[in-house]
Structure 1
Amino acid sequence: MSYVDALPSDEESCYYAEHLEFRPDDPSYDSHDPSSDNDRPPPITDDELASVLPRCPNLTSALLSGIPDLSDRTLILLATRAPHLARLSLASCRGITDLGLSALAAHATALTALTLSHVRGATDRSLARLVRGLPQLRALEMDGLPLVTAHAVRDVWLFARGLRRWSMSGCMHVADEGFPWVPDEPQGGVGAAGPPTPARPKTKTWLESLPPLVLPATHKLTELGSLDLSHCARITDAAVRGVVAHAPRIRELNLAGCIELTDRALRALCALGGHLVLVDIAGLWRVTDEGVFALASACRRLRVVDVSFIPTLSDLVVLELASLPRLQHLAAAGLPRLTDHALCFLAEHTPSLETLHLSYCTQLTLDGVRAVLRRLTKLAHLNLTGVPALRRRGVRRFSEPPSEGYEEGKQGVYREFRGGKVQALGAFLEKEEWRRREAERANVPFRPRGDDSRALY
């Protein structure tokens, strides 16, 4: 039996309960954001849950992110009274500390999926105990843990070899020392020129003094298919080389916001070859056309690609990405050098494209947008926010409404099109192009219209 935002009411229902789920009361409320303000109590309190758990021995799944005041006491009760617990989410439960997590590692040994995102009391010690004590762990989410460092990440590489999905987005203190070390390949090619300039000596912290994590070549996380390292701003190309060497079958990789990465990291990703189907490298401002070109050339099964907000990229990158035979979702927002040439190439070579994000690509014009809408019949989501050409009269009515608090004066014109409105926008632009040609033929001034009329005047 499953219960969502409710508790079993009697002994029998408690005994047969298998799934408990408590969702946050306000979806827009960010419980791990200290600036958020929400005085409404959760529908179920920690004490109420604690009174029921001793009578629920058959629980297999507990998603408790809707109880932000969840305590170690309740977590210990859950771990000791539910021996078959396989899936647990503690996301944003601010009352959890190492005490409760250590009990979880000792008693809930059947866990296969664990979410600890934004549990600010989690430290390296408790994570080490968890990965050592949970031999069946297949999915681990540890996003936004401010007390977690390279020590805990090293333990995951050493002991959680059965992981299939691993996320540690926004772990600000995780650095290269947490990842397997592999020898650095000599940098050659056109850009190589003599020995590197000696760097100024830098005082190392105690974390940077950790010895390299040298793993045997046979030690691989062969089942790891999804890895999220986004916004781990301290990792460098060396960490990516270690990931690829010891997790060679990654299918989905998120490196967005890892601002220290360069083209060398992307060249290392080429070793994933046909395994890689999703890659997010948004915000990697050190990356150039060369690195993205190499990645797209080596990983021909890519379906989802995000290269947003990399100001050095040009049309050449989009041309190479458009040649991917299975490309379905492309995000190339914030590329100031992108022009209509890239859009025309996309229109001709990506018939399976379903999602296209081109926000803040300021050089795009309505001609390029019209070419895309004319040829890409499967396109269901088009985002052109911040593109000045979309201020044209009559376009706003096809766009989704902006979110509350959106300021066009500061954030640019909001233009996001979904579903049938994508095709409606294409039909409108085609109609206006027909009117322009007819006006030229009749030798009369062309004046844009905002409605669906074909009248020239």
Structure 2
Amino acid sequence: MSSQEEPSPKILSQSLPESTHFLTQKPDSASSSSLSLSLSRSSIESGTSSPVPSASSSPVDSPTLKSYSHQQIQQQYDDTVATANQLPKLTAATIPSELILHIFKFITSTSDLKSCILVCKSWCSCGVEILWHKPVFSGNALVKLLITISRPTQTFPYALLIRRLNFSFLGENVSDAILSRLNGCERLERLTLGGCKRLTDIGLIGLINKAEGLVALDVSDIMNLTDAVVELVGQRCRRLQGLNVSLCKKITDTGVIAVASRCRSLRRIKLSGCENVTDNSIVLLAENCPHLLELDLTNCNQITNNAIQPVLERCAQLRELRLNSCTNLTDEAFTKSMPSFFEQLRILDLTSCALITDQTLLKIVYSAPKLRNLVLAKCGNITDEGVNHITRLGKHLHYLHLGHCSRITDHSITNLARHCTRLRYLDLACCVQLTDASVHELSHLPKLKRIGLVKCANITDSAIYALIDHRVVAHTLERVHLSYCINLTITAVLELVNCCYRLTHLSLTGVPAFLRSDLQRLCRPPPKEFNQHQRQVFCVFSGKGVKELRQYLNNVATGSVRPRITDGGPDGTDNELNITNVGEGDDLGLDDLDAEGTDLVINMESETSCQHTLRTGPDRPGLVVTFYYHGQIYEIEEPLRDELGALVAKLIEHNNVIDENQKNSPDSPPPSHFDPTTQHVFRSIKRGFKYMVIGAASIVAIGYLTVRGGHFYVEHFHCATPSMLPSKARDSLRWAYLREEIDPDLNMAQSHLNQALLIAQEQADLPLTHPIIVEIVLRIANNSVRLGNLYEARLEYQKLLQALTMAGGDENIKKAIDVVRRMSKICITMQDYKSAEKYLEWAIGILTAGQSSIINNYRYINLDLVQCNLMLAGIFAKREQFEKALSLYLGTLKKIKQQLQSSSSPENTDKDSNKDHEINWNCWEGIIMGHLGEIFYAMGKEDEALGWLQQGLKIAKSGVDDDNVGERRDCDECAGVISNNLGLIYEKDGKLWNAGAFYTQAFSFAEKANDLEGLEEASRNLERIGKELEKIDNE
């Protein structure tokens, strides 16, 4: 279509004169945002978190709809101040009670709140309400409360002020008589009585009968509770949202049906251990309470597929579903009823549902792609195929329990570790086919806190070393379960407790190396219900016990503490044996041998760099010599023969085994008293260790040079690091760049950036508003966005924004506005339009009020204001507030026109206006016209839409024609998007040939701009148009 045939805009066309002055400078990256509303790709450039405005600034309403001069703004400010001065002064007594209540909620100290009560009557009334809202019982506080609310005359109606009561920590001290004294609490909203086992229906009925506003009720573990109480709750408490009757054995379908029939607002119900509940009540619950968020049916063994199917079909908002020990469930419960998209489900517990198979997991993963906690313990039919289905949950999966799934192997666990990289809790107990290979893969999980490998008998020390060799996992592990891993040694466990400094729980029950009285003394006491055998093998270290174990093993290893070995006397007592050092007995230390020939381990340390361990006894006598050479540990184990025994005696006597202080060459003759065979052995050992050390040193040197070379390459060719930072922080920044760009691993990049941030703040003492810190935080937030952690990125931006706004100053405000744009983008992605709108209005208010000379460089408008206006208008368009969006777009366009006229005027010599040439305002003009076309089309005004789109395309084409060096891809992308929108309009009007021409044009522009999304969309449109035209030709 020629330019002569293009209609001009029909709205405000006279007030928007055309400009023929096109600038070649590339606009800000925001200009590459796509232009679409209902026609094509999203046109809204979004943002993220919650900005905190400075004390001197406040948002203004629709700041771009009017143009204010400096004099007008000053006059408005003066008028506001004059009006404020005429208002009556606000005193403590005149503050609204709602505001006082809100303020008092932030006072955490009871004594401070009591002081506030003494100020005036209104403060007293509000303070008393806060104090009695949720009484805290300590000492004899309960007695005082009962006496106070029972008095015939009271200063305040105390019973009516009570909204929440929690007696769960009082347990059996709570009786029906106590509850009867609380019947006056008619405004009670939350009542927690879990574990108060002395209560009966009598006490509960009197209280519930008055509390019609009850929202949450917890009566778990009250054995005497019957359906009468639950039926009364259904009759009286219509607003009930949460009910917990776990372990109430007498509850049946009758009570549950009464609640399900009348409490339609129910959100959470826990029926754990209610063995008399059947399918009938659960079906009715699903039909009448479709907004359920949590359903707990643990140990409800009468539940079948017939109950679960309607729950999955009707309760689409369910977040937690616990079906532990519902042994009658099969695959049909999930494969025939689960909806195609169960987005809200986060926790699913299928423990002991032994009949389900891999097919159930396939359906669950596809239907609930954001599942976070999955428990499949004792589901014996789960195989590697099922675990491979679970890997599709990817980064969303945090907690996985596969205990007793004995059919899974290393293959599926390896796949799991490589895909579900955010696992924090993993239990693989009794997965007997797993080997060290699985643990090697799991050691790369950056957030792993708990790993369970109980009874994985194939696990050896190699798995432990893999866990600690990976620094990230070593710094995150908190609980490790290794009970009955019989191949583990004390050496490996010592390395584990030394490297994992956050370790708070370590279970080693049944590990032979730890069945020693000196180690078991440090573990916690076994449970009382354990039998004698279980007590003997029990070995679990928790809290302080882990620290004591670490300290004791280290002292033994360094020789500062002598190990205490016991003989396990026949009477069941442990009699300590005093082990004599070599120097204290005979030359060979043979006086330390057990006279009875029992199997003891005796450690003897010489003053040289070797440690000798003699094993005695008839079954496995032998010698273990441990060599310490330049920080490395080497062990040689040989059976103890007569000839070797004599050789060992000589070696110990003369202390000549690989002494690092002795500088003999490999060919130097050994001591003359050795026979030739002994000399040859000695020389071979020395030569072998020398070559081993040289080889290790070479490998270390090559690795070091490779790392430093990589850092040099990054520093001088890609990402220079600030010289004012410590070298360790600079190395971390380089590592982060390598993991971001060269060898992508964003989780590792985040770890390096966090380390650099910590060093910069603590060692370099840089504030959060320092440019270096700001850059690091922005990189961390950007990586979080790339990883999909939008909430974490939003928190990073919010923390940075608060610091910048509190610091003030032009540079900080400018950075704060950039952060606001980024935050708003994330908010829009999260569909939190309200927050994004609030943040953008805050930024626009600052920009239009002229509070910053750095921001307000331009006469009429600047780039920051344009970007914020377009984002805010896009939000209005998303929410179908087209009038607001239209006004904002037109106001921005008008100011851009004025800016273009001002900068091109020959009379204008203002040096600030010359900065306009740094920005291609014409490109922004074309973008806004494209947006206006979309808005008018969405409003049903097709002619106006075509006019604006064609005008925007004309400007974009002009920018493309001026692009002689190919640097302005933005104009190509803009022209491609507008062409695609025009094609869609013509296609809907039935003008297929015109639509095809615009689609072809859009494809050409997208190809030139390297816009992959635009290419894909244009290709789809061309393919669809081609089929339509072919169909017409055939007809």
After TM superposition, the score normalised by the length of structure 2 is 0.37
Q: Please say if 1:323 is aligned against 2:444.
A: yes
Given the alignment of the two structures, is residue 233 of structure 1 paired with residue 354 of structure 2, yes or no? Answer: yes
Aligned partner of 1:120 in structure 2 is: 275
Pairwise CA distance, 1:397: 2.1
State the distance in 1 between where 2:319 and 2:338 align: 22
**CA separation in 2, counterparts of 1:395 and 1:332?**
21
Q: For each residue in 1:31-50, what CA deviation from the matched residue of structure 2 results, as whole angstroms up to 9, or x when unmatched?
A: xxxxxxxxxxx321123212
**How far did 1:339 drift?**
0.3
Please name the residue that 1:24 is paired with.
195
| Other-structure match for 1:2 | 165
Mapped contact 2:298–2:324 kept (Cα < 8 A): yes
Match of 2:294 in 1: 139
Distance 2:558 2:385 in 1: 48
SS in 1 for 2:239: coil
Deviation of the 1:332 alpha carbon: 0.9
Report the CA distance between 1:95 and its aligned residue: 1.7
Equivalent-residue separation in structure 1 for 2:609 and 2:225 (angstroms): 73
Q: Does residue 343 of structure 2 align to residue 247 of structure 1?
A: no
Higher helix share: 2
For 1:285-434, list aligned pairs within 5 A: 285-349=406-470, 350=473, 351-410=475-534, 413-434=537-558
SS across alignment from 1:12: coil
* Conserved? CA contact 1:439–1:446, under 8 Å: no
| Post-superposition offset of 1:393 | 4.4
Call closer, same or farther: CA 1:337–1:442 in 2, change over 3 Å: closer
Q: How far does residue 90 in structure 1 lie from its aligned partner after superposition?
A: 1.0
What does residue range 160-309 of structure 1 map to in structure 2 within 5 Å?
A: 160-180=315-335, 212-213=336-337, 215=339, 219-309=340-430
The amino acid of 1:383's aligned partner reads S
Q: Structure 1 residue 84: deviation in Å?
A: 1.8
Change (3 A) 1:295 1:412: farther
Whether contact under 8 Å (1:8, 1:17) holds in the other structure is: no
**Cα distance in structure 2, aligned partners of 1:144 and 1:246:** 25
Q: Could you say what secondary structure the match of 1:179 adopts? A: helix
Matched to 2:448, the amino acid is: L
Identical positions, percent: 30
Q: Tell me, yes or no, if the aligned pair for 1:227 and 1:252 is still in contact at 8 Å.
A: yes
| Ranges of 4+ aligned residues in structure 1 off by more than 4 Å | 442-448
1:80 to 224, 228, 235: 235
2:250 partner letter:
G
Give 2:308's aligned amino acid: V
User: Could you tell me how far apart the structure 1 residues matched to 2:279 and 2:612 are?
Assistant: 71
Q: Is this contact kept in 1: 2:604–2:611, CA < 8 A?
A: no
> Structure 2 counterpart of 1:22, which letter?
L
Tell me, what secondary structure is at the counterpart of 2:261? helix
Provide the C-alpha distance between the structure 1 equivalents of 2:611 and 2:265, rounded to a whole number of angstroms: 77
Write the distance in 2 (CA, Å) between the matches of 1:444 and 1:335: 32
How far residue 408 of structure 1 moved from its aligned partner, in angstroms, is: 4.9
Distance 2:459 2:613 in 1: 28
CA displacement 1:348-399 (0-9 Å, x = unmatched) = 2122111111111111110110110111111111111111111234212210
Aligned length: 397
Q: Deviations over 1:395-438 (max 9, x none)?
A: 12210000113235257511111123212211211221222583
Q: Compared with structure 1, are the counterparts of its residues 341 and 214 closer, same or farther at alpha carbon in structure 2 (3 Å cutoff)? A: closer
The match for 2:309 is: 154
- Larger CA deviation: 391-400 vs 124-133: 391-400
Q: Deviations over 1:269-305 (max 9, x none)?
A: 0110110011000100111111111111110111111
Find the aligned partners of 1:235 and 1:257 in 2 and give their Cα distance. Answer: 11
Cα distance, 1:113 vs structure 2:
1.0
1:80 counterpart letter in structure 2: Q
Structure 2 letter corresponding to 1:99: T
1:34-53 aligned at under 5 Å gives the runs 42-53=197-208
CA radius of gyration, larger in: 2
Within the candidate set 605, 610, 616, 1:438 is matched to 605
Deviation at 1:92, TM superposition (A): 1.6
TM-fit CA distance, 1:442:
9.1
The equivalent residue for 2:171 is: none
Q: Assess if the C-alpha contact under 8 Å between 2:338 and 2:367 holds in 1.
A: no
Which secondary structure does the structure 1 equivalent of 2:457 belong to? coil
Unpaired runs of 5+ in structure 1?
Answer: 26-41, 181-211, 449-457
Is the Cα contact below 8 Å between 2:182 and 2:207 reproduced in 1? no
Unaligned runs of 5+ in 2: 1-163, 168-173, 560-602, 616-1035
Change (3 A) 1:348 1:214: closer
1:10 and 1:429 map into 2 onto residues whose CA distance is 57
Bigger shift: 319-328 or 63-72? Answer: 63-72
d(CA) in 2 for partners of 1:327, 1:3: 35
Q: Secondary structure at the match of 1:347?
A: helix
Indicate if the aligned counterparts of 1:354 and 1:380 stay in contact, CA closer than 8 A: yes
User: 2-side partners of 1:73 and 1:358: how far apart?
Assistant: 48
Q: Deviations over 1:82-141 (max 9, x none)?
A: 122111111121222222211111111121111011111211111011011113211111
| Distance across 1 between alignment mates of 2:612 and 2:275 | 64
**Paired residue for 2:245?**
90
Q: Does the C-alpha gap of structure 1 residues 60 and 280 become closer, same or farther in structure 2, counting only changes over 3 Å?
A: same
Distance 1:371 1:152, change over 3 A: same
| Residue identity opposite 1:7 in structure 2 | L
Asked whether the equivalents of residues 358 and 385 of structure 1 are also in contact (C-alpha less than 8 Å), the reply is yes
Q: Which residue of 1 aligns with 2:217?
A: 62
Q: Which is bigger in relative contact order (C-alpha 8 A, separation at least 6)?
A: 2
CA distance, structure 1, for counterparts of residue 526 and residue 360 of structure 2: 39
CA contact (8 A) 1:176 1:236 kept: yes
Shift of 1:8: 5.4
AA in 1 matched with 2:179: L
Greater Cα offset, 399-408 or 158-167: 399-408
CA contact under 8 A between 2:180 and 2:206: conserved in structure 1? Answer: no
CA distance in 1, matches of 2:456, 2:276: 39
- Change beyond 3 A, Cα 1:411–1:420: closer
Aligned-pair RMSD on alpha carbons?
A: 2.0
Distance 2:380 2:609 in 1: 55
